Amino acid sequence: PHMRVMTATPIPRSLCLTQFGELDISINTELPPGRQPVMTSRVSTTPQRKKAWEFLRAQIAAGRQAYIVCPRIDSEDEQNIRSSAEEVYRKLQKSELATASIGLVHGQMDREERAGIMKQFHQGTIQVLVSTTVVEVGVDVPNATLMVILQADRFGLSQLHQL
């Protein structure tokens, strides 16, 4: 019998099947129609950060939406407070994105509340979604063309690829 197995991120089982299972391999070398190429930039200095926030504001003004992904929900110590989703959400409302509609979603929220915020983001009511990796799987908002990952060094390569 014929069987088609597809994966975007091969797990060890998939790799073994292709390597030792005598399977034919098909590789998609083109992006789907309308898909924009991914552009990745590393931002590490204060001037670069300012430029990144300016770019984000310009994208929002142009009608686009954005994700801001944080490695933590809250901070247990002073050192991690900069990267907690709740603190980033509060800070952005007061400074960099004060004029934008911002939502917060993370795994400790009630499922219905989280679904409501995700629905608003999908409908475009929320322009910027601050989140943890809860948005890693199964979220598709075509108008969200920008993702800022804060403290990316706290994520694994698989998580970054999935995001």
| Region 67-80 average pLDDT | 72
Find the range with the poorest average confidence among 2-6, 87-91, 104-108, 142-146.
Answer: 2-6
pLDDT band at 144 (very low <50, low <70, confident <90, very high): confident
pLDDT band at 92 (very low <50, low <70, confident <90, very high): confident
Mean pLDDT of all residues in the chain? 82
pLDDT band at 82 (very low <50, low <70, confident <90, very high): low
> What are the Cα distances from residue 126, in Å, to 64, 69, 94, 111, 118?
10, 15, 16, 18, 9
> What is 44-162's CATH number, 3.40.50.2000, 3.20.20.70, 3.40.50.300, 1.10.10.60?
3.40.50.300
pTM: 0.76
CB 148 within 8 A of CB 56: yes
